[in-house]
Amino acid sequence: MSASQDNVHDLRRGDPVVPAAVKEAVRGILAPVVRLAIALHLTPNTITVIGLLITIVASALVAGGWLLVGAAVLTAGSLLDAVDGALARAQGGGTAFGSFLDSTLDRASEAIVFAGIAVWFLNALDEPTLPVLAVFIALAGSFLVSYARARAEVIGLSASVGLAPRTERLVLVIAGIALAGLGYTQVLIGTIVLLAALTVATVVQRIWHVWRLSQPATTPSKEY
């Protein structure tokens, strides 16, 4: 996956699922990768596309039932997710097209991951209807979370609040896939249901937040 502007901001602040200290540690681990990318003359956009390709491979593994391997590959792709933004900063800043490509491929990556999970549900479960429905709700909610923030920024407001920004969604998905690979299928189903609920709640939070910010400030009247 690629490191969108949404993800870069998420990495910079504390949140309920992934502590800021963990994110700082991850950035430290990825520093040698950034230096290697610079030495190989790779561009941030190249890293973004490589991340998408890794996600496709991981999702195909998940769909085929290779859940533990798929989770490991997806983890690698998710760590690479932060490299393109760090590489862009190390090279003096990103471009408008790079930001556009990041955001677009982030959405594509999420859709591909959820599609892989849905295919595995269809193949592995006797009654896959409700779990697959939860996948669709979680995917739609994930898209709306990012869309709400993007539309808020268009009108000059910030909407980075919420329970389930992108980093948290990735952590939950990878953990659920790994545990399903160890035989705890119900954990993955529960994770997807939880993501569906959290993404919908996050969309509501962002709508409420933007509504509050958009209200005109009232000045208390003075009594004479």
The SS3 assignment for 219 reads coil
Structure tokens at 179: 């545990």
**Which residue out of 10, 15, 84, 106 is catalytically annotated?**
106
Based on the residue annotation, tell me whether 81 is a catalytic residue of this protein. Answer: no
> CA-to-CA distance for 161 and 214, rounded, in angstroms?
15
Q: Which CA distances in Å does 114 have to 137, 155, 187?
A: 10, 30, 15
Our CA dihedral for 152, 158, 161, 166, rounded to 10 degrees, sits at 70
CA pair distance 196, 139, nearest whole angstrom: 8
Rounded to the nearest 10°, the torsion over CA 158, 163, 168, 171 is -170
Catalytic residues: 106
